[in-house]
Structures are given as C-alpha cells and as structure tokens.
C-alpha cells in the first residue's frame, strides 16, 4: 500500500520489436534493458505488485531474475504490433483477479526513469486527486519552429513572418509525453483510454532522463547518459 491505496505496476514487454530486435532484454551497460524499470519500480516501494506482461519465456525468466512477477504469458491478441497497452493492462487485471485502486504503466524502454520519478509522479496523482497522470518532457525546440514538408521538400511558407522573428526565450515551453510513466485509476482502464481527459495532469521530467529507446541511436544516447550519471 502507498498512501492507503493498493497500486500495481505493469511493465509491458513484448518480444517482437522490429526496429531493435529483443530491445527489452538487450544489454545496456551490463544490465538487460528491462532490468532498469523493474529495479526502479521495486526500489520505489510504492507497489503491492510489480508484474511484467510478456509473450516470451525468455523475457519472463529475465524479469523474474530482477524481482518482477510474471504470472502468465500474454495472449496472442495482445502480442502483435498493434496491441493496445490498456488492453494489456486489462488482461493483467483480469488474470490475476485482484483489485487495485491504481495502475501504473511503466514502459521498459525508459531506463533513466528511476524510483524517485515514480514516487514524485504518484505524489502529483494524490495531490491533484487525479484520474490520470502522465510523464512529459520539454521539446528541444519550440513547436512554433516546426512545420510539415511537402513531397518536394520545398521550404516555401515553411516559416511564418511572426515565427521567424520569435526568439526561443520569448516563446512558451512546449511539452511531449515521454513514455516513462502512466498512472491511471484502475476503474478507468479500457481500450483506447483517453489520457488527456478530465482531471488529467502532467508530471514533468528532465529531458536527459526521458530517453525512450526505439532505435540503436536511442540506445547509444542511453548508454552515454547512464555513464555520465555514474
């Protein structure tokens, strides 16, 4: 129990990554990637259960080694490229047949998110009496400086007169979800859950802690940042 609420951490770890094969157990500075998230969840002391949802026996063994529970292998329908994360959470809740007040989804692709981040995000959840809290980080450049390109890559009208005169420091900060922490009241868990509805709040994380690994380049960034923090 944390603040008198029963809370479950669910770590989704499908084995079929195409961009970076087996990224969730890929060695990152001497530890499988998923190990960082499991350790952060356990170290936070916020959870009654830390469960990994995976379709892989190998992933299950690695997860067990780091202290997570893997009570079953994920169903085939929740193991494809288009599987919805909230369907995955719903499957976990239905299978283990325990009631929880709060679900915290922790993606294993965020190795720099630590126990302190998890506790702080939960504190925001309780302080705001929220339905949802999601971690975000600032964009490296103002959103006003961005635009789409046509098929011929023409820059004509790419930048408006107003934006071309804007200094970075004069523009408001822009944020994006960083994929590290999702906190939701358990009764709201459903397919295609709207994270930006009523009573939803952001937990702001530093850009350096917000690496979300989807490619070899992301992996290299994480290696460098982890080494820098030692």
pLDDT tens digits, 167-195: 667 778 889 999 999 999 999 999 889 99
d(CA 88, CA 190): 10
| Strand arrangement of the beta sheet that strand 200-204 belongs to | 49-53, 7-12, 102-105, 175-185, 132-138, 200-204
Kindly report the average pLDDT of the chain as a whole number.
Answer: 92
Torsion angles phi and psi, residue 117, rounded to 5: -60, -45
How confident is the model at residue 162, as a pLDDT? Answer: 58
Please state the pTM of the whole predicted model: 0.93
How confident is the model at residue 144, as a pLDDT? Answer: 77
d(CA 94, CA 98): 8
How confident is the model at residue 168, as a pLDDT? Answer: 67
d(CA 42, CA 38): 6
List pLDDT tens digits, range 43-73: 999 999 999 999 999 999 999 999 999 999 9
DSSP single-letter state for residue 2: B
Torsion of CA 130, 14, 45, 191, to 10 degrees: 20
DSSP single-letter state for residue 208: G
d(CA 28, CA 118): 21
How confident is the model at residue 165, as a pLDDT? Answer: 54
How confident is the model at residue 16, as a pLDDT? Answer: 75
Domains in the chain, ordered, with CATH? 7-137+175-228 (3.90.550.10), 140-173 (no CATH)
DSSP-derived pairing of the beta strands 175-185 and 132-138: antiparallel
């Amino acid at each position: 129990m944390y603040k008198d609420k029963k809370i479950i951490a669910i770590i989704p770890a499908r084995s079929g990554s195409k961009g970076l094969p087996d990224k969730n157990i890929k060695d990152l500075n001497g530890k499988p990637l998923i190990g960082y998230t499991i350790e952060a969840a356990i170290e936070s002391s916020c959870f009654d259960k830390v469960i990994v949802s995976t379709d892989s026996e190998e992933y299950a063994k690695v997860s067990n080694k780091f202290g997570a529970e893997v009570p079953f292998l994920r169903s085939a329908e929740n193991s494809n490229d288009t599987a919805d994360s909230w369907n995955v959470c719903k499957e976990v809740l239905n299978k283990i047949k325990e009631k929880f007040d709060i679900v915290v989804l922790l993606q294993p692709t965020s190795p720099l998110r630590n126990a302190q981040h998890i506790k702080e995000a939960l504190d925001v959840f309780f302080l705001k009496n929220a339905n949802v809290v999601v971690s975000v980080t600032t964009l490296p450049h103002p959103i006003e400086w961005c635009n789409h390109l046509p098929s011929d890559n023409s820059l004509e009208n790419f930048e408006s007169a107003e934006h071309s005169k804007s200094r970075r420091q004069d523009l408001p900060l822009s944020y994006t979800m960083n994929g590290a922490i999702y906190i939701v009241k358990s009764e709201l868990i459903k397919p295609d859950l709207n994270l930006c509805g009523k009573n939803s709040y952001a937990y702001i994380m530093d850009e350096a802690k917000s690496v979300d690994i989807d490619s070899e380049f992301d992996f290299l960034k994480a290696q460098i940042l982890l080494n820098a923090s030692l």
